[in-house]
Structure 1
Amino acid sequence: MHTQSHFDPARVPHLLGRFAPVTEEVDEVDLMVHGELPGDLDGLYVRNGPNPRFTPIGSYLFPIDGDGMLHGVWISEGRAKYRNRFVRTPGLLAEEKVGHALWGGIETLVMPGEDEVSSELAGTLKDLPDINVVRHGGRLLALAESACPLRVDSELKTLGRETFGGALPAGITAHPKIDPVTGEMVVFCYGLEPPYLTWSAIGPDGVVRRGPTEVAGVDEPMLIHDMALTERFVVLTLGPVFFDLTAAMNGGSVLAWRPERGTRVALIPRDGGPVRWASDEAFWLWHTVNAYDTSPADGAEVVLEYVQWARLAVGGESREDTGEPVKSALVRAVIDPTLGTMQRSVLDDSRVEFPRVDDRMIGRRHRRLALASETGDVDLLQGEFDALRWYDTRDDSSLTWRAGDLSVGEPVFAPSPGDTSDGRGYWMTFATDRTDDSSWLLVISAEDPAAGPLARVRIPVRVPLGLHGCWLPTEE
């Protein structure tokens, strides 16, 4: 355990301003709408993100640390209502009981003892289901980095840890992928002890079809944030980011960037065959766009699109040793599973993140993708963006909507009901005005996204910037 005296949360950029947490839980109906909400939208847009309930102690590392808070906007018949709720983990409930934080961040591993919490919680890490949210098999799940998700009900009330009937006790990734054809949800989980990396598959009924299966060839604990899926493969990109618990216990960083190790991509056959590896020079990715097989043949190549970073950058650390910003780019990699090679090409070297496609195209060749982007007109923090950009993969052309005074988040696609094509519908994102801290849900037509929002829905509380959400159409 580390001392806490050196940590000053008032100096952490991602605890301030537009990233600062909110503590009030609000319910409001008949939200103010500028413009007109499309009449065919019927469902819930919900987003999760780091939101410490109490002032952090020990350390705070964005985007990994923080309690989860769900922000939901229900849309129907051109009207909208809002609710936000904390994801109430056992640890958060214990902190609410005493009125202050008991756990520190991942960098310092501050944990309460039995004099402060129950014996079941003493000396344990805190659940942090603050990254993403997904609905599958009748469950709505708030997702942590690599741990058990927390199940919530349709009104965003926390129900408890989800272990899938005890079949996945170690948990799952924050970025599972749901095959839109089979309905299967594929997940991975990394750990600090062997096996360091496993993958699993959950049927559309929510029953685990493949329990934790070790990924051979991983002999150290590594940070892996996202994954991709094709018809044939589970695709995991292993950038050279290793957990170093010895350094952490001695005041150093728990995450070690080792570029000399390079980056490896695991192509894991979904039928259970042996892992195929490809490797290249070191790079890091937070988020994949999508992946697909060029053909169903066994030797066919795999195309992986993702946002590439020159190295890992977390928290307030957003510049190289030279003082230059750590760069990101939209990249397409073509991977040969037989030769173990990958050819990377940069599609756009602008600073971009939070890539999304129409979820109905996951694992298949997609035409359109959207990202949050930066214009360069104003100074923004890492994880903050002031534009949205859309790409057409037929010719790699792009369209941009500059958001002006708004800082925008991840764009999420909501297909028009009954549409089976790749692209007719709407893009949604939360945005916060930098002039007055007001937050809005933006609804943008996918047919003319550069024209900007069709509707702006006023949110009654400021929604802290980041991280991930989804559109959940009303189930018949």
Structure 2
Amino acid sequence: MSTTRPRFDPTRVPHLLGSFAPVSEQVDIADLEVTGELPAALDGLYLRNGPNPRFTPIGSYLYPIDGDGMLHGVRLSAGRARYRNRFVRTPAMEAEERAGRALWGGLESMIMPDAGEVGPELAATFKDLPDINVVRHAGRLLALAESACPFRVDAALETVGREDFGGALPAGITAHPKIDPVTGEMVVFCYGLQPPYLTWSVIAPDGTVSRGPTPVEGVDEPMMIHDMALTARYAVLVLAPAFFDLDAAMAGGSFLDWRPERGTRVVLLPRDGGPPRWAADEAFWMWHTVNAYDENQAEDAPVVLDYVQWSRLTVGGSASDAAQPLSGGLARARIDPASGSMARTLLDDSRVEFPRVDDRRLGRRHRHAALATDTGRADLLPGEYDAIRWYDTETGAARVWTAGNLSVGEPVYAPEPGRESDESGYWMTFATDRTDQSSWFLVIPAQDPSSGPVARVRIPVRVPLGLHGCWLPTEP
């Protein structure tokens, strides 16, 4: 039976069309039009990353993993707004610019240029794809890839270059490090196609690597792990059964193989260097954590992990995988490090993704979580949402703002300066109107989020739907 992949036609890939379609123009536009009133207390930069192919893709395109990175920033100050976007300029993208076309195929196609096209250093290498997330730590602004070295950018969003942390993390990190708001440490992990298949590390508040790559024992195959969580005691990793299969990819099959019979494991990595603690359950897939925390101060206290749960892998995989019913929602796992047991509860069965909390609560008990969701309309693509949902973990109540014809992205929290409550600030996101492809930056009050935006900033160019971002208050 042949496993030859069908001929790739980028004009038929939904995530290259409509509100997802890439843009090529880089602009810097001041004094944006504002409907409503921007909170005068907000002074800083909202910044978001996302896949944006510089040239028409060849071979394959797997959203959200493939695509060049593009940063989109809205700077707020004194009630005014300014927009700037910039590509994250990698050596591979610059080689493609010289050629005037795509030279690397998507990850599933395994197309790589030879030395005659790109020179010996880039020949037969995977393309850098720092297109998933962006964070600021120890004065560094980092555009993050799925599992590779990030790229550092400056305050103007211009690319500085690949960041390997002084050579201490040569394999890089994944796209979802976690910054402890109490200690200032950034805890990271990295998976690879060769042993060691999974490592974790710690970057100190001054940017030095205080714990080098530490192998996670018990992982003996290459597997995909997108996100992590943090508590005061542990780094928390969810190992769902999504395995990389290079042989299948080379034969025209899927790069990712979903093996539900293997179940899903969770590992708690003690931040003090102690031995890992494992728990296991039936298979589920997780893209993103909400947050985690130690249930109490006792030694070996259970860990509570809130996350978005899916019944199976939602990208790649075989046709039989895709045919399986898909369910999920906001979930909670209680992991007992002493017994190795894990109990899961579905908190909210709405279709949700891109969960966020007030980043000042990371690793500690949280109450509110914001998530992108949808109203059930049939014309939305996978990864497209038309509402935002706020969930109260204490009461179980949910509040929703429906965006109508707007497709909304990940909500990010911006605290009001000097206020500790996570209901005194604002939630921010980009949105694109599906009827005319106009784009907006929305500011929604945390105190009454279902009332909708207090300010809508018109972005004069289209901002494609993307992935993850952050709020960066202006530093004194």
TM-score bucket (shorter structure): over 0.9
Matches of 2:14 and 2:324, distance apart in 1: 18
Contact 2:4 2:251 in 1 (8 A): no
Matches of 2:317 and 2:80, distance apart in 1: 38
The TM-score, its normalising length taken from structure 2, stands at 0.97
Contact 2:5 2:253 in 1 (8 A): no
Matches of 2:461 and 2:117, distance apart in 1: 33
Contact 2:406 2:432 in 1 (8 A): yes
The TM-score, its normalising length taken from structure 1, stands at 0.97
Aligned to 2:417: 417
Matches of 1:156 and 1:3, distance apart in 2: 41
Contact 1:47 1:467 in 2 (8 A): yes
Within 5 Å, give how 1:32-181 maps onto structure 2.
Answer: 32-181=33-182
Within 5 Å, give how 1:291-306 maps onto structure 2.
Answer: 291-306=292-307
Contact 1:31 1:459 in 2 (8 A): yes
Q: Deviations over 1:213-232 (max 9, x none)?
A: 00010000000000000000
Matches of 2:172 and 2:459, distance apart in 1: 33
Contact 2:258 2:321 in 1 (8 A): no
Aligned to 1:383: 383
1:5: Cα distance to partner? 8.2
- Counterpart residue identity of residue 79, structure 1: R
Aligned to 2:227: 226
2:330 is the counterpart of 1:330: yes
- The number of residue pairs the alignment matches comes to 474
Aligned to 1:343: 343
CA root-mean-square deviation: 1.6
Q: Deviations over 1:34-62 (max 9, x none)?
A: 11000001000000000000000111000
1:317: Cα distance to partner? 9.1
Aligned to 1:279: 280
Matches of 2:222 and 2:251, distance apart in 1: 18
Contact 1:148 1:163 in 2 (8 A): yes
Contact 1:12 1:316 in 2 (8 A): no
Q: Deviations over 1:120-163 (max 9, x none)?
A: 00111100000000000010000000100000000000000000
Aligned to 2:263: 262
2:196 is the counterpart of 1:188: no
1:379: Cα distance to partner? 2.1
Secondary structure at the residue paired with 1:93?
helix
Within 5 Å, give how 1:303-318 maps onto structure 2.
Answer: 303-314=304-315
1:393: Cα distance to partner? 1.3
Q: Deviations over 1:296-340 (max 9, x none)?
A: 22221000000000101126999965575x222100111111111
1:100: Cα distance to partner? 0.5
Secondary structure at the residue paired with 1:115?
helix
- Counterpart residue identity of residue 203, structure 1: A
Secondary structure at the residue paired with 2:212?
strand
- Counterpart residue identity of residue 258, structure 1: R
Contact 1:358 1:423 in 2 (8 A): no
Aligned to 1:460: 460
Q: Which runs of 5+ in 2 are unaligned?
A: none
Secondary structure at the residue paired with 1:54?
coil
Contact 2:255 2:317 in 1 (8 A): no
Matches of 1:358 and 1:139, distance apart in 2: 21
Aligned to 1:399: 399
Higher mean C-alpha deviation, range 371-380 or range 102-111 = 371-380
Aligned to 2:201: 200
Secondary structure at the residue paired with 1:116?
helix
Contact 2:256 2:317 in 1 (8 A): no
Matches of 2:176 and 2:53, distance apart in 1: 21
Secondary structure at the residue paired with 1:453?
coil
Change (3 A) 1:32 1:366: same
Secondary structure at the residue paired with 2:454?
strand
Aligned to 1:437: 437
Q: Deviations over 1:447-466 (max 9, x none)?
A: 01000000000112111112
Contact 2:389 2:399 in 1 (8 A): yes
- Counterpart residue identity of residue 198, structure 1: T
- Counterpart residue identity of residue 68, structure 2: D
Q: Deviations over 1:252-271 (max 9, x none)?
A: 10100000000000000000
- Counterpart residue identity of residue 411, structure 1: P
Contact 2:258 2:317 in 1 (8 A): no
Aligned to 1:215: 216
Secondary structure at the residue paired with 1:413?
strand
Q: Which runs of 5+ in 1 are unaligned?
A: none
Matches of 2:431 and 2:457, distance apart in 1: 10
Matches of 1:243 and 1:323, distance apart in 2: 20
- Counterpart residue identity of residue 381, structure 2: L
- Counterpart residue identity of residue 362, structure 2: I
2:10 is the counterpart of 1:9: yes
Matches of 1:319 and 1:140, distance apart in 2: 41
Secondary structure at the residue paired with 2:117?
coil
Contact 1:14 1:315 in 2 (8 A): no
Q: Deviations over 1:264-309 (max 9, x none)?
A: 0000000011110000000000000000001122221000000000
Q: Deviations over 1:408-430 (max 9, x none)?
A: 00000000011123332000000
Contact 1:13 1:316 in 2 (8 A): no
Contact 2:314 2:322 in 1 (8 A): no
Secondary structure at the residue paired with 2:19?
helix
Matches of 2:81 and 2:451, distance apart in 1: 22
Matches of 1:270 and 1:195, distance apart in 2: 19
Identical pairs, percent:
73
